[in-house]
Amino acid sequence: MLDIKFVRENPEIVKQNIKNKFQDAKLPLVDEAIALDTECRAAKSGADALRANRNKFSKEIGALMAQGKRDEAEEMKKKVTEAAQQLAKFETAETELSEKLTSVMMKIPNIIDPSVPIGKDDSENVEVTRYGEPLTPDFEVPYHTDIMEKLNGIDLDSARKVAGNGFYYLMGDIARLHSAVISYARDFMIDRGFTYCVPPFMIRSNVVTGVMSFAEMDAMMYKIEGEDLYLIGTSEHSMIGKFIDTILTEDELPKTLTSYSPCFRKEKGAHGLEERGVYRIHQFEKQEMIVVCKPEDSKMWFDKLWQNTVDLFRSLDIPVRTLECCSGDLADLKVKSVDVEAWSPRQQKYFEVGSCSNLGDAQARRLKIRVNGADGKYFAHTLNNTVVAPPRMLIAFLENNLNEDGSVNIPEVLRPYMGNKDKIDV
């Protein structure tokens, strides 16, 4: 959420930013916010004036009573009563206008970084760098669920009977590989100085609206019926929520946390042939990283975060590339975002396995995460990035480590988590 003062003083910048995100339908929100802000400030000014008069009248009543001027004191009391009634009206108006203003402001997109390429959707995202040589084996690489089934590692039919489409049973060595990747990612991030955390897997609505846009919320979140709780779609939401209504000192920053959690997503809409199996599902597990830092440090942390994911995948010999998300592909709270994509030998292309985002002070402003600095309080910056998210990550792993006989090689760094096995045999 933007600062209303910034919107008031820079309406054309805010409108151009909306145009750059190809969300022209939101342009009227800027003028609406400015109008509501004007009314809200007028109501506040009127209320402040009435409070000042009420205090002045109260003192005068005391003086008149001390002088025995009861009739004049009674007249003054009537003025106090009238002022109180007017004050109640101003206070009600101020509250209602403030709520309307907040609602409008939460729909206005954050100002994107000047370096973000302008484009309508993800088809206009820009490749930045490739890491590792994308190789294609001499044999045909099967679909990932076929690889898993040959290894007795997945049962989709039973999952459909139990929970419906979008769920799975992982079995045997594939299930063990799934857990090994998560454990390795956890230790990888701890070795890089991040504090490990297992967060709540449900969050309240005020945290949900603090960390994401309404459109994202509707498309992703599962609501717990009869309670003010939502299942998390990613542990980033719970982790950033940890700092709600806090005032941090500068020497406490940065806060660098890495978290494990299951994640639950509606995944509305049809997703196409390549997203069957375990590519896009309603339940998965993930290792995440978040940073809460000073504004001047957020660019540096952004580059560190996506590099962590690249380094982890390269340690598993999986070729990856980074992709700069264009303006139209950025969620409303994001300032800048880079996707990490892994090479798929079967598809002969890269696919997303992680996303790194700098949200500036948008989440901090909504959640009131402030920093006590030398020149006063200010809002922190928040960032997040996927370390690894199996089972999607398993697709890249299996395809890049598959042998012609159907067995799968286990990279050296994973072997301690797999009972020192160097291969999953058919």
Q: What is the DSSP track for 141-157?
A: PPPHHHHHHHTT-EEHH
Structural domain boundaries in the chain: 4-105, 122-424
DSSP 65-110: HHTT-HHHHHHHHHHHHHHHHHHHHHHHHHHHHHHHHHHHHTTSPP
Span 168-214, pLDDT tens digits: 999 999 999 999 999 999 999 999 999 999 999 999 999 999 998 87
Answer yes or no: is pLDDT of 275 > 60. Answer: no
Spatial separation of the C-alpha atoms in residues 261 and 123, rounded to whole Å: 30
Identify the residue with better confidence: 309 or 66. 309
Q: Are 201 and 237 in contact (CB under 8 A)?
A: no
Spatial separation of the C-alpha atoms in residues 231 and 240, rounded to whole Å: 15
Q: Are 128 and 25 in contact (CB under 8 A)?
A: no
Which residue shows structure tokens 């309307």?
100
Give which of 387, 372, 108, 164 is closest to 261, Cα–Cα. 387
Span 105-136, pLDDT tens digits: 999 999 999 999 999 999 999 999 999 999 89
Q: What is the bridge-based pairing of β-strands 408-409 and 423-424? A: antiparallel
Residue 276: its pLDDT value, please? 67
Residue 54: its pLDDT value, please? 67
Q: How deeply is 326 buried, as exposed, middle or buried, from its count of CB atoms within 10 A (0-12, 13-18, 19+)?
A: buried
Residue 64: its pLDDT value, please? 62
Spatial separation of the C-alpha atoms in residues 201 and 207, rounded to whole Å: 12
pLDDT confidence bin for 270, thresholds 50/70/90: very low
Spatial separation of the C-alpha atoms in residues 312 and 192, rounded to whole Å: 11
Span 39-65, pLDDT tens digits: 999 988 888 887 777 666 666 666 667
Average pLDDT over residues 292-311: 98
Residue 69: its pLDDT value, please? 73
DSSP one-letter code for 402: B
Question: To which H or E segment does residue 11 belong?
Answer: helix 11-20
How far is CA 317 from each of CA 133, 142, 413, rounded to the nearest angstrom?
A: 9, 19, 10
Answer yes or no: is pLDDT of 283 > 50. Answer: yes
Q: Are 368 and 148 in contact (CB under 8 A)?
A: no
pLDDT confidence bin for 74, thresholds 50/70/90: low
Q: Which residues pair with 258 in a beta bridge?
A: 196, 289
Spatial separation of the C-alpha atoms in residues 98 and 114, rounded to whole Å: 31
How far is CA 376 from each of CA 367, 373, 380, rounded to the nearest angstrom?
A: 18, 5, 13
Count CA atoms closer than 13 A to 279's CA, side-chain side.
16
Looking at 300-418, which runs of residues are DSSP E strands? Answer: 320-324, 336-344, 349-358, 369-373, 376-379, 381-388, 408-409
Spatial separation of the C-alpha atoms in residues 153 and 161, rounded to whole Å: 18
Answer yes or no: is pLDDT of 73 > 80. Answer: no
Looking at 168-210, which runs of residues are DSSP E strands? Answer: 169-170, 195-197, 202-203
Q: Which two tokens stand for residue 197?
A: 């955390």
Count CA atoms closer than 13 A to 43's CA, side-chain side.
17
Residue 82: its pLDDT value, please? 72
Identify the residue with better confidence: 280 or 402. 402
pLDDT confidence bin for 66, thresholds 50/70/90: low
Domain 4-105, CATH class in plain words: mainly alpha
Which residue shows structure tokens 């489409």?
165
Q: Are 237 and 211 in contact (CB under 8 A)?
A: yes
Residue 31: its pLDDT value, please? 97
| Fold classification of 122-424 (topology level) | BirA Bifunctional Protein; domain 2 (3.30.930)
Spatial separation of the C-alpha atoms in residues 353 and 278, rounded to whole Å: 13
Span 367-404, pLDDT tens digits: 999 999 988 999 999 999 999 998 889 999 999 999 99
Residue 85: its pLDDT value, please? 77
Spatial separation of the C-alpha atoms in residues 35 and 29, rounded to whole Å: 10
Rounded to two decimals, what is the model's pTM? 0.89
pLDDT confidence bin for 273, thresholds 50/70/90: very low
Q: Are 236 and 211 in contact (CB under 8 A)?
A: yes
Which residue shows structure tokens 């007249």?
75
Question: What mean pLDDT is reported for the chain?
Answer: 92
